[in-house]
Structure formats: C-alpha cells, structure tokens
Amino acid sequence: MRPRSRINPCAASVAQVALAWLLHQKVVSSVLVGAKRMEQFEDNLKVTKIVLSDEDLAAINEASKLPPEYPGWMLAMWSQIRAGYLANSKR
C-alpha cells in the first residue's frame, strides 16, 4: 500500500478524496452529498477542483480493495484446480 501522502497529494480531506474518486468512476452518473451544514456543503464542492491521476486512482483502488466474498472465492479456487487437472490430463 502506498503512503497516505501519495494517495492524498493535494492535502484534501478524506471525504473530498472519496468524492473525487467517485466522480472519476465511469459507472457513477451522480453523487449525492449528505451535508448537514453549509460549511460541509461548501467543503464538498471543493472536490470539483481535485484531479486524480491514473496512479492516484490505482492507489486508492488497491488500498480499498475488498476480499472476494463467497461463493466468488470458491469458484475461482475450483476453476484453478480444474484448470490444473485439465492441463495434466492432456499430457
């Protein structure tokens, strides 16, 4: 995992980086902001000035990657085992 300074080079808040990351996702069409105070809302608007590079996005994706859930991890494991059986049976 890269150091925090690499993921957050512009000294933005965690919330701002999270919103900027969301805005860079192709599958996200809009972002809803849940600010209670005008100060929070104005802080969230600053996210439009944050530009994340491909390296920044990759670092955030790597740092926030979730482990595969069941049955996904099991299917992947058995696919590898079956591929090994098939490779050995062709010899």
Split at pLDDT 50, 70, 90, the class of 10 is low
CA dihedral 17, 18, 19, 21 (to 10 degrees): 80
Please report the pLDDT score of residue 11 as a whole number: 75
Instruction: State how far the alpha carbon of 63 is from the alpha carbons of 1, 18, 67, in Å.
Output: 6, 12, 11
Range of the domain at 18: 4-89
Q: Whole-angstrom Cα distance, residue 57 to residue 21?
A: 7
- Global pTM reads 0.63
Mean pLDDT of the region 40-46 = 91
Question: How many other C-beta atoms are found inside a 10 Å radius of the C-beta of residue 19?
Answer: 21
Split at pLDDT 50, 70, 90, the class of 41 is very high
Number of domains composing the chain: 1
